[in-house]
Amino acid sequence: MNKEYKRDGMNNYLVFQKEENASSLEMNMMINNQIEGVIPLEIRSLNGQEYLYYEINSKQSLQRLLQLVELKKEDLRKLFLDMIEILEEGRNYLLQLNHFYLSPETIFLDVSNRKLSLCFVPGYDNDVMKQIEGVIEYFMNHINHQNQEVVVFIYGLYRLSKQDNFTLQDLKKNLGQQEEQCTPSFPIKRELEYKEEMQLVFDQPKPSELVEEEEEPTLKPKKQRGSSLLFWCLIFAAVIDAAVVSYYGMKYFLDACSRDEISTFYGSGLIFIALLCGCVMVQKKRKKQQTLQEIETRVKRTKAEEASIRETEKAWERLKECEFEPFSEVKSNAFYQETRVPEENNLTMVLTSRDRECDYPVLKPLNSKKNDSIVLSHLPYTIGSLEQGVDAKIEDISVSRIHASIEQIGEEYYITDLNSTNGTCVNQAPIALHQRKQIKNGDVIAIAANEYEFVV
């Protein structure tokens, strides 16, 4: 089924052409009800043909999300559970499950509230279980295969999906058996060096490191065994001494013991008291050691959890900044306008003036007072206003956080608009969302209100 992205004013849409066999009942259900987890439907007519519009503002597709984040087992588990919940909710509204369009490009996540959103397309018909199987296979090819926990989890779902009569209930039961250990984290990921392998941009505690921290013994096992052995030796000696004291005590009270035996009785009694005191002291020491060990373990776990929570919140805040909120200061009757740069913004990141003797392509600003040259030192190269999410940061309020990217295919260069609010133009012609546009030497590229000449 053909789909395309369109920009209408400040809104971005995923658009499908309406099929002739679309159910009127399902169309009315979608239009007249706000179904939890299902992207609202809007029908528009153009040249006698009706189109289905789905607003995707502030949403990231699963395909795009996997380029930004590294999913863990808990993230995947929650994602599939949310998907099942949305499908079951759609069934309550008499929506055919086979009419849900489940693909990495049409499954969206709203990063502002971490909620999953699905597209229900009347007229589309594909076995929902086959689609879920396709999503699982997509994950198999895009997960971090060095994370053994994630690999085992995904391959478990894959084996389950290959069973005969695979149903949603089977999947739900399997996910319910998985132990949820922590809150989904979604740590942000980007490329530090495109000539090298992909690495995480934000430092975060690794699971292996956390396990080692938690399991690291606070006290040496030998000391624990030594104190325990001493305690039981004292107990044994006290029991023997108590028997001796009892024997001579009985003879003492029966006036049947000599002076030497009386001395032995008193001496044994003092030894017994000393042994009891020693037992009490050793036991207190053991308890103190155990308490200190528990406290240190709790402190380490608390620090690890706090570090994980901090990284989680930082990652989500940075991912939230990938949303493309409408730019209210741009006038509606003009596509590009000069905009005021807030004084509180930080200095421009990455944008540097480089000697043109280098072999790298360059975006040369037409307004040199406002912008610096952008040297495309590696490709693909991302441009936007998000300081820690792009390769070149443009200090302009009209520029979206992740605005556009430039890549090289063979000997040719292409630019792609990444769902920006104010768009990208090549030689004053706007380019479509998520569509590659070839650029050549001398072309004028407009990143919102900022124009550059592409020099190779």
pLDDT, tens only, 398-443: 898 788 899 999 999 999 988 888 889 999 999 988 889 999 999 9
CA distance 447 to 83: 36
| Residue 318 confidence (pLDDT) | 58
pLDDT at 308: 64
Band (246; pLDDT cuts 50, 70, 90):
confident
**Residue 65: per-residue pLDDT:** 78
- Digit-coded pLDDT (tens) for 361-384: 999 999 878 889 999 998 889 898
How far apart CA 120 and CA 40 sit, in angstroms, is: 9
Q: What distances in angstroms separate CA 417 from CA 32, 189, 242, 424, one per listed residue?
A: 33, 20, 89, 6
Helical axes 259-320 vs 207-215, angle rounded to 10°: 170
Q: pLDDT value at position 349?
A: 41
pLDDT of residue 424: 93
Residue 6 has pLDDT above 70, yes or no: yes
CB hemisphere CA count around 385 (13 angstroms): 23
Q: What is the mean pLDDT of the chain?
A: 77
Averaged pLDDT, 17-44: 92
pTM for the full model? Answer: 0.53
CA distance 399 to 448: 6
- Tell whether the model's pLDDT for residue 107 goes beyond 70: yes
Amino acid identity, position 87: L
- Given this model, what pLDDT does residue 434 score? 81
Q: Which amino acid is at 453?
A: E
Cα-based torsion angle of the residue sequence 409, 411, 417, 423 in order, rounded to the nearest 10 degrees? -170
Specify whether the CB–CB gap between 335 and 451 falls below 8 A: no
- Residue-level pLDDT at 314: 65
For position 35, what pLDDT does the model report? 94
User: pLDDT grade, residue 54 (50/70/90)?
Assistant: very high
| Dist. CA 275–CA 269, nearest whole Å | 10
Query: Radius of gyration over alpha carbons of the chain, in Å?
Result: 34
Alpha carbons 116 and 177: distance in angstroms, whole number:
22
Name, of 170-179, 325-334, 353-362, 434-443, the range with top average pLDDT.
434-443
Tell which phi-psi region holds residue 138, choosing left (phi > 0), alpha (psi between -120 and 50) or beta.
alpha
Give me the pLDDT at residue 179, please. 56
Segment 4-16 mean pLDDT:
88
Write down the pLDDT at residue 357.
44
Condensed to tens digits (0 to 9), the pLDDT of residues 260-303 reads 666 666 676 677 777 778 777 877 777 887 788 778 777 777 77
Percent of the chain with pLDDT over 90: 36
pLDDT of 425 reads 95
pLDDT at 122 (0 to 100): 93
CA nearest to 400, candidates 452, 356, 455, 450: 450
Q: Write down the pLDDT at residue 289.
A: 79
Residue 239: pLDDT band (50, 70, 90) is confident
Instruction: Examine the pLDDT at 16 and tell me if it is beyond 90.
Output: yes
pLDDT at 231: 67
Structure-token pair, residue 94: 């008499």
**Identity of the residue numbered 380:** P
Number of neighbouring beta carbons within 10 Å of residue 226: 11
Mapping DSSP onto H, E and C, the string for the chain reads CCEEEEEECCEEEEEEECCCCCCHHHHHHHHHCCCCCECCEEEEEECCEEEEEEECCCEEEHHHHHHHECCCHHHHHHHHHHHHHHHHHHHHCCCCHHHEECCCCCCEEECCCCEEEEEECCCCCCCHHHHHHHHHHHHHHHCCCCCHHHHHHHHHHHHHHCCCCCCHHHHHHHHHHCCCCCCCCCCECCCCCCCCCCCCCCCCCCHHHHHHHHHCCCCCHHHHHHHHHHHHHHHHHHHHHHHHHHHHHHHHHCCCCCHHHHHHHHHHHHHHHHHHHHHHHHHHHHHHHHHHHHHHHHHHHHHHHHHHHHHHHHHHHHHHCCCCCCCCCCCCCCCCCCCCCCCCCCCCCCCCCCCCCCCCCEEEECCCCCCCCEECCCCCEEEECCCCCCCEECCCCCCCCCCEEEEEECCEEEEEECCCCCCEEECCEECCECCEEEECCCCEEEECCEEEEEEC
Instruction: Flag the least confident range among 121-125, 165-169, 303-307, 319-323.
Output: 319-323
pLDDT attached to residue 280: 78
Q: What is the pLDDT at residue 266?
A: 64
The mean pLDDT value for 88-109 works out to: 94
331, pLDDT greater than 50:
no
- According to DSSP, the β-strands at 429-430 and 450-455 are unpaired
pLDDT of residue 315: 61
How much is the average pLDDT of 78-105?
95
Give me the mean pLDDT over the 179-185 stretch.
Answer: 48
Mean pLDDT of 82-103: 95
Span 51-71, mean pLDDT? 84
Note the pLDDT tens digit of each residue in 198-225: 333 334 444 344 334 334 444 344 445 5
